[in-house]
Structure 1
Amino acid sequence: MKINIIPAVALLLCSLSVQANQPDYTQQIQIDADNLSSVKENVLTYRNNVVVTQGSLQLKADQLEINATAGKGNEVYIATGNPVTYSQLLADGQQVTAQAKEMRYEPSNRTLTFSGEAELAQSGSVVKASTIRYNVEKQELSAESNESKRVTTIFTPEEKNNP
């Protein structure tokens, strides 16, 4: 029996490209850590070398608390560290990175909130503030600071190619 493998390979490649183009927020969340404990019902605490991955989104922290008391799909992830780091590859190929003392992730509304010496970098530009809110779906950002600090944005000009 002769099997034509070309259509099967083409189908496989198409399914992989569809999966690769799925937004990160639609993919499963994986958590790796040295320790896990359940403090109370519907609250999990991960400690030491915590790594959270969702598609290309990656978060690293010293501790992560997941509060699921509001029910499935409404979990709140609160990561703390010195600092907590975040990185994500956007659909257009750009890399977004951030760091702060605390990061709150709410998958239900696709919002990340960075607090405490927060800094977010994208496309060569950097925003520094006390608090930065970032919507991973809409790629919208807002920043605010307290009385002692101001919001700082640094834009890096494009380099021109000289002929």
Structure 2
Amino acid sequence: MLLAVTTVAVAQNKSTNNPQQLPINLKADSGEYDANAGIATYTGNVVVTQGEMNLKGDKIVIRLQEGKIHSIESWGKPTTFHYVPAKEPPIDGSGQYMKYTVPTSTVEIDKNAHVKQDKNETRADHITYDLKREHVTGRGVNMTFQPKTK
């Protein structure tokens, strides 16, 4: 089952110049893969890693489209992600639910959503973070931005 998802992830690796095209690796206590539906479900200490991005949760569901990973959904108390963009401080996020959509490189966070980068942070009911554009949007938002020091 893990082999099936890992094989798909490696097949997606067309160019390591783009971090979003690196293989997606996964570890979990247990899992189930339905090849007909294109859905893999993993539970217990689940960790998904792609390049400089990782996602951790109690339960993670991976959806495939046309043999490629399309989205990764995570539930936890909390579920967390960590991402290191090029030439920027690391970004950490948490919430009760997250969805990472591979083709668009976006992370959606719901229920006690929190994203922090350096001294700047966003808390909201819902946060969408575009990893390619490094762009955050939220609903029910409380943001803190610190001035850059020289």
TM interval, shorter chain, is 0.7 to 0.9
The structure 2 residue matched to 1:111, chosen from 99, 106, 115, is 106
From the superposition, tell whether residues 158 and 75 of structure 1 become closer, same or farther in structure 2 (CA, over 3 Å): closer
Please state which structure has a larger fraction of its residues in strand: 2
Report whether the alignment pairs 1:137 with 2:146: no
TM-score, normalised on structure 1?
Answer: 0.76
The match for 2:84 is: 89
Unaligned runs of 5+ residues in structure 1 are 1-17, 146-150
Deviation of the 1:74 alpha carbon: 5.6
What's the Cα RMSD here?
A: 1.9
* 3-state SS of 2:20 partner: helix
Deviation of the 1:71 alpha carbon: 2.3
Q: Is the 8 A contact 1:73 1:107 kept in 2?
A: no
Deviation of the 1:26 alpha carbon: 1.7
Task: State the percentage of identical aligned residues.
Answer: 24
The structure 1 residue matched to 2:145, chosen from 132, 155, 162, is 155
* 3-state SS of 2:138 partner: strand
Mapping of residues 54-73 of structure 1, within 5 Å: 54-68=50-64, 70-73=65-68
Once residues 26 and 36 of structure 1 are traced to their aligned partners in structure 2, the CA distance between those partners, rounded to angstroms, is: 24
Report whether the alignment pairs 1:128 with 2:123: yes
Once residues 56 and 71 of structure 2 are traced to their aligned partners in structure 1, the CA distance between those partners, rounded to angstroms, is: 16
The match for 1:47 is: 43
Q: Is the 8 A contact 1:132 1:144 kept in 2?
A: yes
Deviation of the 1:42 alpha carbon: 1.1
Once residues 98 and 24 of structure 1 are traced to their aligned partners in structure 2, the CA distance between those partners, rounded to angstroms, is: 19
* 3-state SS of 2:132 partner: coil
Once residues 118 and 49 of structure 1 are traced to their aligned partners in structure 2, the CA distance between those partners, rounded to angstroms, is: 20
Deviation of the 1:159 alpha carbon: 5.5
Bigger Rg, which one: 1
Once residues 127 and 79 of structure 1 are traced to their aligned partners in structure 2, the CA distance between those partners, rounded to angstroms, is: 20
Deviation of the 1:37 alpha carbon: 1.1
TM-score, normalised on structure 2?
Answer: 0.82
From the superposition, tell whether residues 159 and 75 of structure 1 become closer, same or farther in structure 2 (CA, over 3 Å): closer
